[in-house]
Amino acid sequence: MSFDGLFTRAITNELSSLLKGGRINKIHQPYKNEIILAVRANGVNHKLLLSAHPSYARVQLTNEQYDNPNEPPMFCMLLRKHLEGSIIEDIQQSGLDRMIIFEVKGRNELGDVSYKQLIVEIMGRHSNIIIVDKNRNVILDSIKHISFAVNTHRAIMPGQEYIMPPQQDKLNPLEANGDDILRAIDFNSGNLDKQLVSSFAGISPILAREIVFKTGLANRLTLPNTFIAFMNDIKNHIYKPSITYGNTKEAFYLLPLEHLKGEVKTYDSLSSLLDRFYFGKAERDRVKQQGNDLERLIINEKEKNEKKIKKLESTLEDAKKAEQFQLYGELLTANIFMAQKGMKEITVVNYYDEDGASITIPLEPRKTPSENAQKYFTKYQKAKNSVNIVIEQIELAKAEAAYFDALLQQVEAASPKDIEEIREELVEGGYIRARQKKSNKNKQNQKPVLEKYQSSDGTEIIVGKNNKQNDYLTNKAAARDDIWLHTKDIPGSHVVIRSKEPAEETILEAAQIAAYFSKARNSSSVPVDFTKVRHVKKPAGAKPGFVIYDQQQTVYVTPDEDMILKLKQ
């Protein structure tokens, strides 16, 4: 992973320079595995994110907004009890391990000085956040409890002695010289990157591959020199935080990863790099867990309606044969003297044809000629009557399929809060049953919370990310002369510019937001319509979020996630 021991050393240095001596004012636990500490240090307010997420574990300062639960979890309450109002005296890394230790000084219930350690272990799915009474070296609690049955080396449980993870017997790359490197590497065995990882602490496979790549044709002279040059920059905290977008993967590190051969974007700090790299990733993972059942339901409903459309269109094709049934009946009646019971078919002249061509009419041998003619007239009448009904059913099924297609896009772009609103919409539509949960009397009066952005010239741009929000934004929140935007013929969000006459740049920025929150997020040159809100109408009885509009203009934009992040309030 990119967040290796050397990256941990760098982020520890960054956090120490900004937070050391700061006071912990507030603590929140927005999600199961993540803690937010509001720290005021050197006259500046910071948000410190501690994450023990199994895939996205990290420690960083963040500018992202997080929704907190109505009732804080027990671990959050315990952290508040022991840490709120305390001072961060030091921030340290344990060796070159992916462990960051916050040394905190506060006071207990009696007013006596107490010392705590807040330890973040970044170890993939085994990541954890642990609060320890420093004087007794006893675990007060952890965000994940691990018993001896799971880990025989140590238990992470309240009341247990805190034991460090097992140490790996590896060399310190920051202190290694050329001879150390030559002794650690067998050039004849190949896989030099793997040998670097197994021999030196804190080095991830991605850094090892970069060192080997920059070395070129590696030999006993070039590899040690390249290795030491890398380590000298890292030792002196000379970084160039970068995200490299390679052909097959994207990765971040303290420096550009040239071996990935892709676009490189650099950042001013490690925390801003991590904010950008993880933008939406952890949230989409949580949404996938919370909305997995909804996504399956929506996909099933969409596919069911698509199959229904195919069947109805086949029925419509049969119904369109009504005129042929009428022709058979009339020609058989006109030539009834030629037909006899027991015949399987009869060939007659089609006097409706200009060339007078012959036509063969299938017959049922058990029926008389008159009964066969009557059968065709009956089928004609039945087919004729069914055409309008089938066409109506096709339109209804297409509307349902389009509705679920739009819902699927909304789930993909949803936050955990948005998922609950989508669930409520499906309950109201009768597609799923309501879950049994605590009643909230105030919930009925709550207005949907809309996502807000600010254009380059300061104009407010508002986005609805699901149908409830779209309806509220377009029909209630927006002024009649505000500018309304939506991707042309593509499922997506309603977007409103809070201005009667916005600048052209603002329209283009709002159009990019509309394209980003649509099914065409990963496309280029996306058409986006815009018009005044007064020209947007919701037809009577229409599905949630559905509108019609006119007097629109169209612009073409390419969604840019960096720009979206920049404009977000």
Q: What is the pLDDT of residues 255-264, one digit of tens each?
A: 999 888 888 9
Domain limit, last residue, from 284, 317, 335: 284
pLDDT band at 438 (very low <50, low <70, confident <90, very high): low
Residue 435 burial by Cβ neighbours in a 10 Å radius (0-12, 13-18, 19+) = exposed
* Same domain as 127, residue 11: yes
* Same domain as 404, residue 382: yes
Domain that holds residue 62: 5-142
% helix, strand, coil for the chain, step of 5: 40, 25, 35
Beta-carbon contacts of 489 under 8 Å, excluding residues fewer than 6 positions away, are 527
Q: Cα separations (Å) of 41 from 15, 87, 343, 361, 493?
A: 11, 9, 100, 93, 39
Residue 159 counted as domain residue: no
Residue 237 counted as domain residue: yes
Check residue 442 and give its pLDDT.
Answer: 52
CA distance 58 to 401: 40
* Same domain as 98, residue 30: yes
Are the C-beta atoms of 156 and 142 separated by less than 8 Å? Answer: yes
**pLDDT at residue 441 greater than cutoff 60:** no
Beta-carbon contacts of 155 under 8 Å, excluding residues fewer than 6 positions away, are 146, 147, 148
Cα 439–440–444 angle (5° rounding)?
120
pLDDT band at 247 (very low <50, low <70, confident <90, very high): confident
SS3 240: coil
Residue 425 counted as domain residue: no
**pLDDT at residue 294 greater than cutoff 70:** yes
* Same domain as 121, residue 14: yes
Domain limit, last residue, from 237, 256, 284: 284
CA distance 338 to 334: 9
| Tokens (6 digits) for 470 | 């779209």
For residue 148, what is the DSSP state?
T
| Tokens (6 digits) for 116 | 């705590």
Alpha helices by DSSP H, listed for 240-342, are 270-277, 281-290, 292-319, 322-334
Q: Kindly write down the DSSP assignment for every residue of 333-368, as one continuous string.
A: HHTGGG--TT-SEEEEE-TTSTT--EEEEE--TTS-
Residue 120 sits in a domain whose CATH number is 2.30.310.10
Pick from 72, 75, 66, 70: nearest CA to 416: 66
Phi and psi (nearest 5°) for 291?
A: -110, 15
Q: What is the pLDDT of residues 320-370, one digit of tens each?
A: 777 888 899 999 999 999 999 999 999 999 988 888 889 999 999 999 999
Beta-carbon contacts of 235 under 8 Å, excluding residues fewer than 6 positions away, are 174
Q: What is the pLDDT of residues 44-68, one digit of tens each?
A: 999 999 999 998 999 999 988 887 8
* Same domain as 280, residue 318: no
CA distance 101 to 90: 8
Beta-carbon contacts of 138 under 8 Å, excluding residues fewer than 6 positions away, are 132, 159, 160, 161, 162
* Same domain as 114, residue 182: no
Check residue 418 and give its pLDDT.
Answer: 82
Q: In the chain, what is the straight-line distance between the N-terminal and C-terminal CA atoms, in Å?
A: 31
Q: Cα separations (Å) of 139 from 84, 131, 524?
A: 18, 6, 52
User: What share of the chain has pLDDT > 70, as a percent?
Assistant: 97
Residue 561 counted as domain residue: yes
Average pLDDT over residues 507-517: 95
Residue 152 counted as domain residue: no
Check residue 440 and give its pLDDT.
Answer: 53
* Same domain as 301, residue 252: no
**Beta-bridge partner residues of 142:** 130
Alpha helices by DSSP H, listed for 413-528, are 416-428, 467-472, 504-516
Check residue 437 and give its pLDDT.
Answer: 57
Tell me which of 412-416, 444-448, 479-483 is least confident: 444-448
Check residue 79 and give its pLDDT.
Answer: 96
SS3 133: strand
Provide the whole-model pTM.
Answer: 0.72
Q: How many folded domains does the chain comprise? A: 4
Are the C-beta atoms of 404 and 302 separated by less than 8 Å? Answer: yes
> Taking all residues of the chain, what is their mean pLDDT, rounded to a whole number?
90
